[in-house]
Amino acid sequence: MQRRTFLMGTAAGAALVAVPTGGLLTASATAAQAAVGSLDELQAAIDRARPGDRIVVADGRYTVPPDRPLTIRDKQGSGRAPITVAARTPGGVVLDGPHSFVLDRSSHITLSGFSFRQSTTLEIPETCSHIRLTRNDFQLADIEGLHWVMVRADDSTVDHNHFHHKSTLGIYLGIEGAGTEEMAQRVHVYRNHFSDHSFAGSNGGEPIRLGVSPRALSSAHAVVEYNLFERADGDPEAISVKSSDNTIRYNTIRDSFGGIVLRHGNRTRVEGNHLLNGTEGMRIYGNDHVIVNNHLNGLSGRALVIGSGSERDHLPGETPEARRGNDAPDRVLIAYNTLVNNNGTLSGESHRPHEPRDVTVADNLFVADTGELVAMANTVRFAWSGNILWGAATDGNIPAGGFTRVDPKLVTGPDGVARLSAGSPAIGAGTLRRPPVTHDIDGHPRGRLRDVGADEYSDRAPRNRPLTPADVGPHAR
């Protein structure tokens, strides 16, 4: 399909800033280019767009009137030919006003390169699907309680964006669904930069909130991967999971108060994440999770918490009050993780009545010089095997036979990752008979005899490292 492109010329875009919305501006037009000279004409270009069309907006600052948001309604692109509305350069088009784009009953729409500065939530509603937000800069009005982006549409994608500088209550990115209990399906969140959320309250400033408590039992099948979180201090949960059947992998959380929390829901896989030099690590509630290949280093709070429950299990039809409670962890696998130099290593909770049950803790490295390496509360039918403990910290209450105290010969690289060195007793010492991993945190194959901890010893350069700002956001590859 031939792609049509609607362009605002640079001069026209500059002039648009200085004239009232709706005023006609001049621009050259060719057979391949249709001139778009005002916000009204931009709206007209959207209205007549067909699959494969790309509407390009010249750099400039635009104030969208409160009664005339840019509306994308009943527009259907396709997987191979989306309808794209894009800034000429990433971040070069600034959208002020109460709203920017309003979407309804549309699919395969891409919004790219905008600087969103609006004062209301950017909604991706459940009437849409296959909506992509890519290479945008989000710094909405810093209003108490304002959530910046809310995705309710199936098969949506949020990638290569920067969310930054909020100091009040409210989340950067929420993923929910229709009604009160459903979740949007198959949302993909990757290569975003979440930074500088400084809300000082105790709750409500998450960079990512994947569901809410009434949606806990709904499967979302979301994938949150390769995102960087820096100075994510608005909530103890940088990634807050409150739905089921999700994947949280290859993210980096650095210098942040928040961590990764499976607060509600079941069957989520948390793999290959780096949590470095922050406060909170990971907290686990709910059933049948898999926690593998994660690296937690230099956290001043609790690194890994296997929680307790106010409820044994969340069940369909329970009261809203019960649904808000904590679900005791059952049948969770915690394996091949490396926890180094954290203030608290592995711990439990005792202030709720339901203890965790049938949890496997195997082939992890626990290394620290202060406190206890394992400080669990009540547990039932825990299986411990193959863990290696080291450092001046005491063993704690890990059962005899579930660990070996031996120096794993870790070497911390310039990227902050503690890896095995040659001759480490962790090499080939894995005990799981059916390990749920094929590669390590660096992206190296695990092989037949697997090493203990997140790193499989290799003399090859890592394929995956902790992310930096150059790896994510609007200007990354």
Same domain, 368 and 441: yes
Last residue of a domain, one of 98, 115, 132: 115
The pLDDT of residue 290 is above 50: yes
Q: Any idea what the CATH number is for the domain that residue 402 is in?
A: 2.160.20.10
Residue 2: pLDDT band (50, 70, 90) is low
Residue 260 lies in a domain: yes
Residue 358, judged by CB atoms within 10 A of its CB (0-12, 13-18, 19+), counts as middle
The total number of structural domains in the chain stands at: 2
Same domain, 109 and 152: no
Instruction: Name the percent of the chain in helix, strand, coil, to the closest 5.
Output: 5, 35, 55
* Cα–Cα dist 175/122, whole Å: 12
Q: Cβ atoms within 10 A of the Cβ of 185, count?
A: 17
pLDDT per position as a tens digit, 342-374: 999 999 999 999 999 999 999 999 999 999 999
Structure tokens of 181?
A: 């209990």
The pLDDT of residue 36 is 65
Same domain, 84 and 159: no
Same domain, 77 and 105: yes
Same domain, 213 and 299: yes
Q: What mean pLDDT do residues 12-20 have? A: 33
Strands (E), 78-222: 83-87, 93-96, 101-104, 107-112, 114-116, 122-124, 129-134, 137-138, 149-151, 157-159, 162-166, 173-175, 188-190, 193-197, 208-211
Q: Which residue has the tokens 């990354």?
A: 476
Q: What mean pLDDT do residues 190-204 have? A: 96
Domain coverage including residue 336? 121-471
Pairing of strands 295-297, 54-57: unpaired
pLDDT per position as a tens digit, 267-288: 999 999 999 999 999 999 999 9
User: Taking the mean position of all CA atoms in its chain, how far away is CA 439?
Assistant: 21
Residue 476 lies in a domain: no
Same domain, 100 and 135: no
Last residue of a domain, one of 115, 130, 152: 115
pLDDT per position as a tens digit, 83-137: 999 999 999 999 999 999 999 999 999 999 999 999 999 999 999 999 999 999 9
Q: Cβ atoms within 10 A of the Cβ of 404, count?
A: 15
The pLDDT of residue 37 is 62
pTM score = 0.94
The pLDDT of residue 303 is 98
Asked if 391 and 369 touch (Cβ cutoff 8 Å), the reply is yes
Same domain, 237 and 350: yes
Asked if 364 and 370 touch (Cβ cutoff 8 Å), the reply is no
Residue 3: pLDDT band (50, 70, 90) is low
Q: Cβ atoms within 10 A of the Cβ of 461, count?
A: 9
The pLDDT of residue 12 is 37
